[in-house]
Chains A and B, each alone.
Chain A
Amino acid sequence: DAKTTQPTSMDCAEGRAANLPCNHSTISGNEYVYWYRQIHSQGPQYIIHGLKNNETNEMASLIITEDRKSSTLILPHATLRDTAVYYCIVRAFNTNAGKSTFGDGTTLTVKP
């Protein structure tokens, strides 16, 4: 798996957009960017994934740079319940995709 680099922590005001960056400069052509989050030692929760196009779902948006060496997860209107550790994982789209390497992630704290 390609290595990812994320800031250790970030703060965001409630109701504002949270923008979480991730660097993955060694990403290969067949590797996707996945984002997960973990709320207080619960099981990691899938948020979104993408290959090269920007993606949006009901939880978040994912912006991937044209060279695919970095991406940004956007939570458009952060709430207190979005306080969590956010993991950016780069992984090939293959059948053993469940074997993923979790880094330290970014601890996002949403403040009132």
Chain B
Amino acid sequence: EPEVTQTPSHQVTQMGQEVILRCVPISNHLYFYWYRQILGQKVEFLVSFYNNEISEKSEIFDDQFSVERPDGSNFTLKIRSTKLEDSAMYFCASIHGQGANTIYFGEGSWLTVV
């Protein structure tokens, strides 16, 4: 079964540092998403991306966050200057855009800011 892959699986970074989380969505999918889950809390939507631009973003997705699809296969989430409260599991997801629109999630990147 096709899958969404994410790297790194775990990253520890110092507060104030920039972090880039990478995702390879399923190859024929057209819509891409980032979610996050702080330990013990709900899965929260961050941003959706279609046709090389952000289609929707949540209040969490402030100026410190950015997304990019640099080469037609990778989909990245950048946090410019990490804060302690950015520590969370970040999930990438994609959907085909036609048919069932089932959301496929990656296994997540666990970010720890110290």
Contacts and interface: CB of A to CB of B under 8 A. Distances in A.
Interface residues of B, number: 28
B43 interface: yes
Interface of A: 34, 36, 38, 41-46, 49, 87, 93-104
A98 B94 contact: yes
Contact of A44 (B43, B55, B97): B43
Given A41-B37, A42-B108, A104-B42, A96 B91 contact: no
Contact of B56 (A34, A42, A44, A99): A99
Given A44-B105, A95-B50, 19 more contacts: A41-B89, A43-B93, A43-B106, A43-B107, A44-B43, A44-B91, A44-B103, A49-B100, A87-B43, A94-B101, A95-B31, A97-B101, A98-B33, A98-B48, A98-B101, A99-B45, A102-B42, A102-B43, A104-B42
A85 B31 CA distance: 25
- Nearest 5 A-B pairs (CB), nearest first? A43-B105, A97-B101, A102-B43, A98-B95, A98-B33
B103 A97 contact: yes
Contact of B101 (A36, A43, A93): A93
Contacts of B42: 102-104
Of B103, B104, B108, most buried by chain A (CB within 10 Å of CB) is B103
